[in-house]
Structure formats: C-alpha cells, structure tokens
Amino acid sequence: MAKRKLTQNQTRRIQANNAKTLHRHKRKDIEWQDEMLGESQEGIVVTRYSAHADVENAQGEVYRCNLRRALSGVVVGDHVVWRKGNQQLQGVSGVIEAIHPRRNEIARPDYYDGLKPIAANIDRIIIVSAMLPALSLNIIDRYLVVCEAARIEPLIVVNKGDLLSQQQEKEVEGQLQIYRDIGYQTMIISAQNGKNMEKLSALLSEGTSIFVGQSGVGKSSLINRILPSVNAVVGSISETSGLGQHTTTSSRLYHLPQGGNLIDSPGIREFGLWHLDAEQITKGYREFQYVLGTCKFRDCKHLNDPGCALRDAVAAGRISSVRYDNYHKLIASLSETKSQRHFSTL
C-alpha cells in the first residue's frame, strides 16, 4: 500500500494508544484468591474506569471492584454478580465475577478496540446538543440511527436555550419540528436558567436514561441542575477551537429522588457508525421505512436512480430534505471511515 502521511488525528490516536498500553503494562493485576472473598451478591455498575468498576449493592453502598479477566467489557448499567473482599487491596474492595445478560446496549466503534460498549440496560437516550459548540443535525441523526438500531427511545434536547435570541429560538424550533414531524420528542432547555428542566425531570422518573452528545454541550451541567448535590465536574469551551474539552472521562449512573436513574457520559470526539452497514443506517431513518419498498429498483441507492420513491417523497415535501441529505452524508462517511480505519490498523 502506498505510504500516506498520518493526519493529526491519527497521530494523536497512536500516541494515546501507546500511553494506554504502557499504563496497562505497568499495572499489576491483583490476584483475589477464593478464600479472600465473601458470598456472591448482586450489584449494578455505576461507573466503569479503565481498570476498575464501581459497583453498588442492594443497600446503595458503592464498592470499587476488579474485573475477572474475561469481563473487560463491563459497562455502566450492567447488572453483575460480585464478591466483597475481606480486606481492601490497593484501594480495591472486591471483584466482579459475572455479568447478567443485557436487555440492550449502546456501543460505538473505536479505532483500536473495535466495537466498544458504552452503557447497558438503557430505557431512554437523551441526545443533548447546543448552539455552542454548534448545533449539528448530522450528529443528532447519527445518534438516532444508534437509538433505532438498539430500539431505545430517544429524546432530543437542545441545551443552552438561555443563549438563544427570540429569532434563534424560532429557527431552532423550526429545525426540531423536522424531528417532531416523524414522532420524536424534542425540547429546548437550559442548565443555566432552568428552562424546561421540570418537564425534563418528569420524563426521567422511570427507567434508566443516559445523556449523550458532543463534548461541551452541557451534559454534566444538566446533571448538576437536576442533582445539585452531585457536583459533577464541568469544563469550559476552548476559546481557540470552540470545542468542548472532554471534561467527563467515565460514564456515571446517578439515582433520581423521584425514581429513575440518569447516566452522564463523556462526549465523543468522532461518533462513527462504521460498525453498522448501509442497510442498518437506512433502517435508522424511521420515516424512510414507509416508502423504501416502492422504489423502482430493488437495489436503489436513492440517489439518481430512476423511479426512486424516496427522492419523490423528498421532492413532494413528505420527507425532509435535510434528513435525506444527512442520510447520504452518513452513507458516504461510512466508506471513507472504513478505508481510513483499514489504514490506521496497518
């Protein structure tokens, strides 16, 4: 293969991975012997760090645990079987021995680790965006594809509503209408002045919800607004790049006083979807499903193909042209990222 110059991103990833490997090499795994451990008990993973996980027992006590070797995929929200040690070893209190089967999971592809689960047993994905760093419908669509694939109900929120002028708010409402028209719930909110926060909190009282979205959109700030005692760390937006600074580094599950659980998650730099194929992406656009079967050709790519029912629906205004364009961008990015990935693993 011809030699290509590494992009800045690729160089950064290689360096980060190298540091991770060195860290793993340095770390000595604790060997828990059977006689050092108490009875098996049930628990739920409330935080996953690179080498450990915090597990909460039925009494609400949290213990830092090691993972048995085969359980490296443990994520926040996992129901696990674990055993408490009769003493702490290097600050660790026990060990996770098994994971109960997951009801569902959300995952993202990682350049080095393959498909990486992010969280498990989720009832609601709250896609958080904001005008600052930038409101991107493309990113919202990416998350929606993931929600549809995992069959988890999404809620689309635009945070930092306090920064919007009346005119801007009208514009954002117009963009959100695209999603309301196809059956998604949407809301403009503000962690700063509390706009619509009661409405949002009311929706969270059942099941487990997770905040997802780019770094800097205000996920942790929303956690602090809903649960002031938590005091989650909040970062600033970089003045030079205008981007968030990846402040939250591990997902964490909180219990809400009115019932329900809420997970804060780290912003993801590039939310790739190359673990999904074109067909799965197409299925992720729920409003396309009614027309897809009626294209003239079975292998219609919905671009310039004659007799494309999808394109006709866009022309007739029955399907949003923004969603249609994003769809094609997503399909195109799929092949680009796949070839990039091939390159980066060489």
Ligand X SMILES: Nc1nc2c(ncn2[C@@H]2O[C@H](COP(=O)(O)OP(=O)(O)OP(=O)(O)O)[C@@H](O)[C@H]2O)c(=O)[nH]1
The yes or no reply on residue 260 touching ligand X (CB under 6 A) is: no
Report how far apart, in Å, the C-alpha atoms of 109 and of each of 15, 17, 123 are: 18, 15, 21
The yes or no reply on residue 221 touching ligand X (CB under 6 A) is: yes
The yes or no reply on residue 218 touching ligand X (CB under 6 A) is: yes
Q: Are 76 and 46 in contact (CB under 8 A)?
A: yes
Report how far apart, in Å, the C-alpha atoms of 316 and of each of 180, 303, 309, 321 are: 19, 16, 10, 10
For residue 284, give both structure tokens.
């992720």
Q: How far is CA 66 from the centre of its chain?
A: 24
- Give the one residue of 93, 208, 209, 220 binding ligand X; rule: CB under 6 A: 220
The yes or no reply on residue 47 touching Mg ion (CB under 5 A) is: no
The residues pairing with 180 across neighbouring beta strands, listed in sequence order, are none
Question: Among ligand X, Mg ion, Zn ion, none, what binds residue 192 when CB lies within 5 to 8 Å by partner kind?
Answer: ligand X
Q: How many residues bind Zn ion (CB under 5 A)?
A: 5
Q: Are 178 and 186 in contact (CB under 8 A)?
A: no
**Among 179-187, 268-276, 300-308, 326-334, the segment contacting Zn ion (CB under 5 A):** 300-308
Burial 240-279, CB ≥16 within 10 A → b, else e: eeeebeebbeebbbbeeeeebbbbbbbbbeebbbbbbeee
CB of 97 to ligand X, least distance (A): 31
Question: Among ligand X, Zn ion, Mg ion, none, what binds residue 163 when CB lies within 5 to 8 Å by partner kind?
Answer: ligand X
- Give the one residue of 52, 195, 302, 323 binding Zn ion; rule: CB under 5 A: 302
Q: How many residues bind ligand X (CB under 6 A)?
A: 25
- Give the one residue of 159, 186, 201, 326 binding ligand X; rule: CB under 6 A: 159
Kind and range of the H or E run holding 67: strand 62-67
* HSE value, Cβ hemisphere, 13 Å, CA-based, for 81: 8
- Give the one residue of 121, 214, 220, 326 binding Mg ion; rule: CB under 5 A: 220
Give the residues lining the site for Zn ion (CB under 5 A): 295, 300, 302, 308, 310
Give the residues lining the site for Mg ion (CB under 5 A): 219-220, 247-248
Give the residues lining the site for ligand X (CB under 6 A): 159-160, 162-163, 190-192, 215-221, 234-237, 244-248, 266-267
